[in-house]
Amino acid sequence: MNPRRRRIRHGKTGDTMKAYTIRWGRYALELGPRTRIMGILNVTPDSFSDGGRYLDAEAALRQGEALVAAGADILDVGGESTRPFAPEVPAEEEVRRVAPVIEALAGRIPVPISIDTTKAGVARRALDAGAAMINDISALQADVQMAPLAAERGVPVILMHMRGTPRTMQVDPVYEDVVAEIVAFLAEAVQRAQDAGIARERIIVDPGIGFGKTVTHNLQLIARLPEFAGLDVPLLVGPSRKAFIRKLLSEQPDEALPPDHPAVETGTQAVVAACALNGAHILRVHDVATTRRTLKLADALREVGRT
């Protein structure tokens, strides 16, 4: 067995959850014994949860430092909203938003910064500014230069499943078996990344909660996360304040609660715990401090299940 991978008994199902270590540059991420937290920093005017709040560079810097102080293991910086029906942002504008923030934060925080983009030009400028990971919601398909860039720089990449684009993904998404189809998609994405020269030990996958899925699809994905273990790469899940949580908690059947409603964070934390217990290695969230407390309990429960 690869000495950097050890098996952890999954406390709920009795299956095994693999642990991984990703090493690159000056960073090392131990994934498995403790569920890691990716803090979200949206430098955008229109993100669904906090759009406009951190568009100002100084506000973004303060928030980035606050997320790390609260316990974020990775900071994910994005300059283009990927909410449903969001308009596309030109690469030059995306760079203008993220590059100064990344450059300033890279010298102030000890954790790796991830650039959340589908554009190779934006990713390159972000890496030059100090980013150390690429989070591509298109799984390297939107820009043919993204995979060669990631391979050249030797940085970890996050490959996400999305049906269509942010402009089209929520228009009547249909699957015969949502989990099986997404596992197959991600297996192909991992192979495509490897074929482009990206080392397997630097690949992370994301089933894409809320990206071209109905409420039921999202619930099925979370309940069946152990089925992604066969991909043999770390698993990231991003459920934070997503519409399926806001719809399930709403008293109005055709309306979702607003993202800043107090009940939405409560619902997010319930899903965070379920994801951790079902095998997620990384949770991508807005509220790092609350998530850290939730994961202390979820990880303790999983640890008990190993004995």
What pLDDT digit, counting tens, does each position of 177-215 carry? 999 999 999 999 999 999 999 999 999 999 999 999 999
Active site residues: 242, 284
Domain housing 193: 6-306
Residue 207 lies in a domain: yes
Task: Record the tokens describing residue 32, joined without a space.
Answer: 């498995």
Closest CA to 230 of 56, 17, 77, 62: 17
Residue 110 lies in a domain: yes
What CATH number has the domain bearing residue 198?
3.20.20.20
Check residue 11 and give its pLDDT.
Answer: 35
For the chain, residues with pLDDT lower than 70 are: 1-16, 46-55, 83-86, 165-171, 306-307
What is d(CA 95, CA 101) in angstroms, rounded to the nearest whole number? Answer: 10
Residue 1 lies in a domain: no
Number of domains composing the chain: 1
Task: Record the tokens describing residue 90, joined without a space.
Answer: 């030109």
Task: Record the tokens describing residue 1, joined without a space.
Answer: 């067995």
178, containing H or E segment: helix 178-195
Beta strands in 117-210 (DSSP E): 133-136, 157-160, 203-206
Amino acid identity, residue 206?
A: D
Residue 292 lies in a domain: yes
**What are the backbone angles phi and psi of residue 188, rounded to the nearest 5°?**
-65, -40
Q: What is the pTM of this model?
A: 0.91
Q: How many CB atoms lie within 10 A of CB 56?
A: 12
Check residue 168 and give its pLDDT.
Answer: 60
What stretches of 196-240 show up as alpha helix (H) in DSSP? Answer: 215-223
Residue 277 lies in a domain: yes
Check residue 165 and give its pLDDT.
Answer: 65
